[in-house]
Amino acid sequence: MNKKEQTSKTTEPSSEKGGARPGAGRKPLPGKFVTTLIISDALKEDFKKLGGSKWVREQIEKAVYFKKNLPPDCQFPSLNPEKLELPLAESFVQAGFPSPAESYVGARIDLNEMMVDIPAATFFVRVKGDSMDLAGLDQGDLLVVDRSKQARNGDIVIVNINEEFTVKRLIKRDGNIILHPESSNPAYLDIVPKEGDVWNFVGVVTYIIKKA
């Protein structure tokens, strides 16, 4: 074998594939959990417009933040409840003088659909105390609270103030925010932000469920 043949033989690349090398590929960031998200072709462009993986991470962080910022004894609706339609009377029931009886069954309603707009943004919590009894919120009543709604003047809201939760009427006056109690007990006073306070809006009360 001459020198030229020897050089050609030693520099010829191997045709065999050795497979993935140990430790090859992108390394995960320290202290980070890496997972895979599968997006259909139909959603791919929308996913990119929303911000891709950064947007997904922000949604998860928001969900975790909201869960930490909720009353410890609250409950959540089922994300996929079974449909339960109940009969709805065609006429209103009289709270004054009796009226002639009319036909009974009209449309049918599902209380899940009626009271819960967005299951992932809704929770239930029971009333404690009498600071809102004149507004119809009595001890033990179950409140339906929507975290996705923008609080408006006059709404009944739940607010976390310095790690304590309260339900009050929201009053916006001259650029100021007031949490107003509606109670038969005169000991309850308006709550206004003070220096050093940390206020976190939790949600708007959309329904009050009470036992007859």
**Active centre residues (catalytic):** 131, 168
Six-digit token string for 76 = 């959540």
Question: How many residues can be counted in the chain?
Answer: 212
Upper half-sphere CA count for residue 176 (Cβ side, 13 Å) = 10
Token pair listed for 151: 């609080």
Residue that has been written with the tokens 């409140």 in this structure? 143
Closest CA to 165 of 202, 190, 132: 202
Our measurement of the distance from residue 179's CA atom to the centroid of its chain's CA atoms, rounded to an integer in Å, reads 22
Alpha helix ranges (H) inside 69-116: 111-115
Burial 73-104 (b: 16+ CB within 10 A, else e): ebeebeeeeeeeeeeeeeeeeeeeeeeeeeee
Helices vs. strands in the chain: H and E counts, helices first: 4, 8
* CB of 149 closer than 8 Å to CB of 204: yes
Beta bridge partners of 158: 167, 203
Q: Residue 131, exposed/middle/buried by CB under 10 A (0-12, 13-18, 19+)?
A: buried
